[in-house]
Structure 1
Amino acid sequence: MSSNKMFDVVKEDLVKLEKEMLAVVQSPIELITEIGTHLVNSGGKRLRPALYFLAVRCGNSVDEKNIMPLAAAIEMIHMASLVHDDVIDSADMRRGTPTANSKWGNQISILSGDYLFAKAFSLIAKQNYSSRVTMILAQLICDLSEGEIIQNKETFRASKDKSEYYARIAKKTANFIAASCELGAIVAKLPEKEIDALRQYGEAIGMAFQITDDLLDLTATQEEIGKPAGNDILQGIVTLPVIHALEVSPNSEELQAILKTRDMSNDLLSRALDIVQATDAVEYARGKVDEYITKAYDVLPSSIPTAVFEAYQLAADSIRIRTY
């Protein structure tokens, strides 16, 4: 499903967002402007602000001046987290485009990520948002950091702990998507029951989104996802399908030994992928995606506008079938 089709109801908001973000990253320091412009122009799904805009459009008396700064802050926090992730992962490419660290080095990239975080909160400080909004954003950044710390602690350990995996992806991905929906609902001044329902929807599709992303790392080509296949395994990151393979594969001990190898050869990576794909790990993980998408359908409040309701359903559907 094309994101343009999916988010038709907020397409004008998304166009304005691009202009807003390009304006926000302008700086008297030429290099900061160059890096910020590169990051904005590198694109992305803009899933989080799109879901935020959809929730905003559920309200009848929204203060228009409060809509765009928060959307830009949401996406800039996401961009900053990706910049830091790329440094941690030593990633050279993202979405088929050179990463900031591959172009300008780790030190400048980390500082650029910090700059984006600060700019996001400066946007919030200039508007009359409630303390609830700032607390949600602050907790969001705490969750992102905690998720990354948990992941870093578990690298090259070949953990079989599914509960740890679910906690990690909740902090790294699902809580952010949930917060995007929740923040839009707050700006729209929706009843608390609907705010909670949209947060639950965001959490469910966020879990599905990350599991799908982990599946694509095993099944998609570099051309499709913009990074090498099996990159998580190379980084020592154990995802749901790999955990399941560790549980059920007759070659579990061999797979575990490979996953603990820090300087993994291409032959070892290929062997690990073969072991995982020889099990039902991919089908198992897809089943979990289906469970989360079903939950997302179930919690969507029927009281929201029909166009928004349908767009949220399309967003959930697109995650189920995404190939990049």
Structure 2
Amino acid sequence: MEKVKLKLLYSDLRPELEMIEKELEVAVGSNSLLLNEASLHLLQAGGKRIRPVFVLLAGKFGNYRADVMKQVAVPLELIHMASLVHDDVIDDSEMRRGQTTVKAQWNNSVAMYTGDFILARALEYITVIEDSKIHDILSTTMIEVCRGEIIQIEDKYKLDQTIRDYLRRIKRKTALLISSSCELGATVSGTDAETAARLRRFGYFIGMSFQITDDILDFTSSDEELGKPAGSDFIQGNITLPVLLARQDPKIYSHLRNAVGKEMSDGERMEIVKMIRNSSALQQAKAISEQYLDKALKELDHLPKGPANKTMRKIAMFIGKRKF
């Protein structure tokens, strides 16, 4: 239901998004039956397509051409998809968006090569773009996303990491792709440098808010709403902001210390979830998310008014306060 509400906010972009969806299907197509099935399994699991949406909306601030927007929207979404497949292998995730992951449906090897294949398709796709600046932005984005994945592995099960460590990680894990989506949409549509910079910052701030909200929902939502077990991040060793804030309570810290990295029953998992829910950590995390959201909205205040600005504002508000 929440995803439907979000899509209504950018329903005027439906023709372009349908075009991008068809292009994604073509892009992940392969002569290998196994690769084809695995790639389509991931694609058909759906998603909010936030990154293509922001490419399109940012393009509205310049000389908007849907066919040109598509050239950067598709590879960005492919990069995102590839990172999800690899993430699920690293985290040993069985479920994503209520469906089995590629690694669960097949195995780790198939998942890793599927992710590599989708990433290669993204590289192939951007060869049609002649502007070297676009290539610079995309290549830097891919490098930083990979660095973020490595940092996530290094930080696994580290209960004593700092909040700065966490923010550095989610910048690369989530915020950078959304930031690049906005910057690329602005760049390919020929906006001025200041507009592109403001859109890039907007994307960064909303990306940070988006991920923090995701990490809050991992504790506040039910298994059914998440499409995976609540508290999955902690079980998989990903120490998120709610946990970092909750550990300030010595009793909670002691409990978390004894649980981190160990096999847990559903009852033990829900005990951790309940402990975080009953602490002040979720409200503190929400306040930090809202600070990023406010910064994102302030960037929009300095951009030309119009339908694109209005829709971006609505999406930002929805993302920062969503319940899915």
2:126 matched to which residue of 1? 124
Structure 2 match to 1:312: 312
1:98, distance to aligned residue in structure 2 (A): 1.3
SS in 1 for 2:247: helix
Matched, 1:31 2:34: yes
TM-superposed deviation, 1:301: 5.0
| Aligned mate of 2:103, from 83, 101, 104 | 101
Deviates more, 1:89-98 or 1:34-43: 34-43
Which of 76-85 and 21-30 deviates more?
Answer: 21-30
SS class of match (2:248): helix
The answer to which of 243-252 and 280-289 deviates more is: 243-252
How many aligned residue pairs are there?
A: 321
Contact 1:194 1:301 in 2 (8 A): no
Q: Cα deviation per residue 1:178-212 (whole Å; 9 max; x = unaligned)?
A: 00000000011111000000011000110000000
**Cα drift, residue 51 of structure 1:** 0.6
Written as runs of structure 1 = structure 2, the 5 A alignment for 1:1-324 is 2-60=5-63, 62=64, 64-128=66-130, 130-259=131-260, 261-300=261-300, 302-324=302-324
With over 3 angstroms needed to count, the CA separation of the structure-2 counterparts of 1:203 and 1:197, relative to structure 1, is: same
For residues 319 and 199 of structure 1, the distance between their equivalents in structure 2, rounded to whole angstroms, comes to 17
Q: Is the 8 A contact 1:174 1:205 kept in 2?
A: yes
The code of the aligned residue for 2:113 comes to L
Which stretch shows the higher mean deviation, 7-16 or 309-318? Answer: 7-16
The 2-side partners of 1:212 and 1:95 are apart by: 16
- Unmatched segments (≥5 aa) in structure 1: none
Verify the 8 A CA contact 1:14 1:50 in the aligned structure 2: yes
Q: Secondary structure at the match of 1:247?
A: coil
Counterpart contact for 1:80–1:117, Cα < 8 Å? yes
Q: CA deviation at 1:254?
A: 2.4
1:77 Cα deviation after fit: 0.7
Secondary structure at 2:229 match in 1: coil
Kindly state the Cα deviation for residue 281 of structure 1 after the two structures are TM-superposed: 0.5
Per-residue deviation, residues 251-274 of structure 1 (Å, max 9, x unmatched): 322222222x33233343233223
Considering only aligned residues, what root-mean-square deviation do their CA atoms show, in Å?
A: 1.6
CA distance in 1 between counterparts of 2:222 and 2:274 reads 15
CA distance in structure 1 between the partners assigned to 2:316 and 2:196 by the alignment: 18
State the distance in 1 between where 2:250 and 2:281 align. Answer: 9
Q: 1:180 to 1:88 in 2, by over 3 A?
A: same
Aligned counterparts of 1:160 and 1:117: Cα–Cα separation in 2: 30
3-state SS of paired residue (1:310): helix
Deviations 1:266-322 (A, max 9, x none): 343233223322220011011111111111110115443511011110111111221
CA shift in 2, pair 1:63/1:252, >3 Å: closer
1:31 maps to a residue whose letter is: L
Find the residue that maps to 1:58 and give its secondary structure. coil
Shift in Å at residue 159 of structure 1? 2.1
Distance 1:187 1:36, change over 3 A: same
How far does the alpha carbon of each residue in 1:33-64 deviate from its partner, in whole angstroms, 9 at most, with x for none? 2222222211000001101110112223x455
Structure 2 segments unaligned to the other structure (5+ residues): none
Contact 2:92/2:236 (CA < 8 Å) preserved in 1?
no
When structure 1 is superposed on structure 2, of 299-308 and 209-218 the one drifting more is: 299-308
Q: What amino acid sits opposite 1:234 in the alignment?
A: I
Distance 2:28 2:255 in 1: 48
Q: Is the 8 A contact 2:56 2:66 kept in 1?
A: no
- Aligned sequence identity (%): 35
Greater shift, 17-26 or 209-218, is seen at 17-26
Aligned amino acid, residue 309 of structure 1: N
Return the alpha-carbon distance in structure 1 between the equivalents of residues 65 and 210 of structure 2. 31
| TM-score, with length taken from structure 2 | 0.94
